[in-house]
Amino acid sequence: MSTTTTTALGFIYPDHAAEDDYPLAERLLREAGIDVSLNVAHIYGTDLHAIPELLDLGSPDKLADGASLLADADPAAVIWACTSGSFVYGPDGAPKQVAALAQASRVAASSTSFAFVNAAKHLGVSRVAVAASYPDDVAQLFVQFLAAAGIEVLGMSSAGIDTAAEVGTLTSDQVCELAASNDRLDAQALLIPDTAMHTIGVLQQLEAQLGKPVLTANQVTIWEALRLANITAVQPALGALFNERPHYGDVRS
């Protein structure tokens, strides 16, 4: 009789908004034969999309608390599942944030901001459009973070939504409208950078609508954890990032 071992992956998620994307993704991965458990631990702070509050939310003490909440799951990797709470530290501070999290969790660690960079590089994408839910000053920091990693943002929109809780109430139709209205024809991919937004259930619809890869915060966060755990997952329901190869031609051109 053969036995399989479920690989646990850990996610530190701020407050509550779209954390139900994780059990949905876990179900889809298991349907594809990927035996993983996606364990979500919550840390708390104000959910304002404002720079001082975001710096506090991603502070070493808060992330260490999140790591301790995941310890019993014995995760193979831990991800800080917050885009704005990681890129707000900038290209110099964000690596230190991840290094401190790795030390606290004693396993490989990363954050959603680095997940976006690594996912784009995996697909060979270097020119993107960004459909952000944040206020403009916060969204511009994401553009700068991507630029420091060699990813050119051809167009960026900021919906100006002040809180993560409000982002979490966006319907599937509203998410699709946000994507469609803020794509650029010359962009190789569209990035939607907020883990507070429900996107896992509409990834196939978004990519069919735009005809290109769409990278969303919870999607790339989960992919990054799998990558760190050396797990290759093929599940087209999770978008081109989870295909064996992209279906949109040579995205490196």
For 62-121, how does the pLDDT look when each residue is reduced to its tens digit (9 = 90+)?
999 999 999 999 999 999 999 999 999 999 999 999 999 999 999 999 999 999 999 999
167-189 tens-digit pLDDT: 888 888 998 898 998 899 999 99
Could you tell me the pLDDT band of residue 123, with boundaries at 50, 70 and 90? Answer: very high
204-231 tens-digit pLDDT: 999 999 999 999 999 999 999 999 999 9
Helices (H), 73-216: 84-87, 90-105, 112-122, 136-148, 164-167, 172-182, 203-210
CATH of 7-242 among 1.10.3720.10, 3.40.50.300, 3.40.50.1220, 3.40.50.12500: 3.40.50.12500
**pLDDT for the residue 135:** 87
**pLDDT for the residue 250:** 36
What average pLDDT does the segment 8-37 reach? Answer: 96
Range with the lowest mean pLDDT among 11-20, 153-162, 244-253? 244-253
- Number of neighbours of residue 240 by Cβ within 10 angstroms: 22
Residue identified by tokens 């997940």 is: 115
**pLDDT for the residue 46:** 77
How many angstroms separate the CA atoms of 198 and 8, rounded? 22
What average pLDDT does the segment 144-156 reach? Answer: 96
